Amino acid sequence: MRPATRLFIKQRFTDYYNKTRISAPSSVREREFGFIFFDERYPDDIWMRRHIGFSSGEEMQDYVRSIVPAHAYYSTAYYQNPHAPTMGDKEWLGADLIFDLDADHIMHGSYEEMLSRIKEEAIKLLDVLDNELGIDMRTIKLVFSGGRGYHVHVQELAMRDFEPAERRELVSYICGIGISPSALLSDWAPGRVGWHERFRVLLTSYLQDLSKKPEKDVKAELSSLRGVGQVMTERFYKMIPELVGLLKTDPSSILFRDQTVKTVFGALASERESRLLPYIRKAAVQVDEPVSTDIRRLIRLPDSLHAKSGFKVVPLEVKELNDFDPLIDAVAFGDREIIIESDREYSFSLLGSRYDIPKGRVKVPEAAGLFLCCRGIGEIGGSDHAS
């Protein structure tokens, strides 16, 4: 990034922070804060200043306005001494349960496609928290990260003291880690929700997809499973239509049909590269496990700006998610025209308009130009960028 581009981004961020009131997180006195700056090393060699504490939201606001950070964070944890220079001296008091949903961990594609895909995961997660885990939705704080994902904060007091192992257990359920076919099928009953029903559906889909393949390919796939020999392969192949029917009517009876079924289902789920894994991932919610299990994590500060997109970190009500469009609702800047220089062709949507950026110099609205500069696609060019 050219120095002029870095200066341009910082100038626009300065204007935003001077005009915007940033809401302090709850229990602000017990939170640690961290910031990444627009120094001469940015964005190639970033450094975070952390172990910062504030006595009030006003003090936090004044600090942000004075330093104009590229990125701003606060701790999911509560501390007796959040400003202490070492973690041991902070005296941990508990932490919110955080689920991080990041499209980078799921797929690659255009920015619009990634935003759409990760929104689907956020909706799935909220449904699981509400209808399967019984979380009080009034304790849920939802935040668009400003980049390619969402943060779901669970602020239930009963969960604040959870250790990493307890948080990992919740994540394992949500992500479908450690699936046991025998347990889920034997305990299935009509009307059962959660993984019992999801596993029945995904196993049905797998067997249906298997039945569409050439016989030799199916037998090769089954015989490659650990502990499944030629005889079992032949028996299981012939049973596939019957098993699909039983999964729709009486899944629990499957395990009593044949030892072959138990062996094959067990092998399918236990393989290091399980044949069921793509189906499980589709049925699960793909959250970032390290974030959820880390009881000292720093997370993006709502209402701050994300210097890799120029977008706002937007706090949302759960009921607002369906209608939320980051490419409109998270855009912080306007349509004043500026000149940027792009090193390649790039197409994207922003504020309801489609932009096809050619290689070279082009005049674009400020919101689009800032997005391109922050993403490393464009550099500020010409005198039109002066504030």
Name which residue leads in pLDDT, 106 or 300. 300
Verify that 75 and 101 share a domain, yes or no: yes
Angle at 176 between CA 170 and CA 181, to 5 degrees: 125
Domain coverage including residue 239: 181-283
Verify that 77 and 160 share a domain, yes or no: yes
Angle at 293 between CA 198 and CA 323, to 5 degrees: 60
Pairing of strands 140-144, 149-154: antiparallel
Pairing of strands 92-95, 71-75: unpaired
pTM for the full predicted model: 0.89
Verify that 352 and 323 share a domain, yes or no: no
Verify that 81 and 148 share a domain, yes or no: yes
Verify that 293 and 271 share a domain, yes or no: no
What is the C-alpha separation between 361 and 42, in angstroms, rounded?
23
* Cα 342 to the center of its chain, rounded Å: 29
What is the C-alpha separation between 213 and 267, in angstroms, rounded?
20
Verify that 147 and 244 share a domain, yes or no: no
φ/ψ of 33, rounded to 5, equals -120, 150
Verify that 217 and 157 share a domain, yes or no: no
Residue 386, pLDDT > 80, answer no
What is the model's pLDDT at position 382?
Answer: 60
Verify that 12 and 119 share a domain, yes or no: yes
Q: In total, how many domains does the chain have?
A: 3
CATH number of the domain where residue 133 is located: 3.90.920.10
For residue 240, the cross-strand partners are none
What is the C-alpha separation between 229 and 16, in angstroms, rounded?
66
Q: Give the pLDDT band of residue 141 (cuts 50, 70, 90).
A: very high
What is the C-alpha separation between 288 and 123, in angstroms, rounded?
16
What is the C-alpha separation between 372 and 348, in angstroms, rounded?
10
For the chain, the maximum distance between any two Cα atoms, rounded to a whole number of angstroms, is: 77
Catalytic (active-site) positions = 100, 102, 288
What is the model's pLDDT at position 94?
Answer: 96
What is the C-alpha separation between 286 and 289, in angstroms, rounded?
9
Mean pLDDT, rounded, of the chain: 91
φ/ψ of 66, rounded to 5, equals -80, -30
Nearest CA among 70, 61, 64, 66 for reference residue 10: 70
Q: Which of 17-21, 63-67, 78-82, 279-283 has the lowest mean pLDDT?
A: 279-283
What is the C-alpha separation between 106 and 154, in angstroms, rounded?
22
Preceding peptide of 43 cis, ω within 30°:
yes
pLDDT in tens, 207-259: 999 999 999 999 998 888 888 888 889 999 999 999 999 998 888 888 777 78
Question: Three-class SS of residue 303?
Answer: coil
Verify that 102 and 246 share a domain, yes or no: no
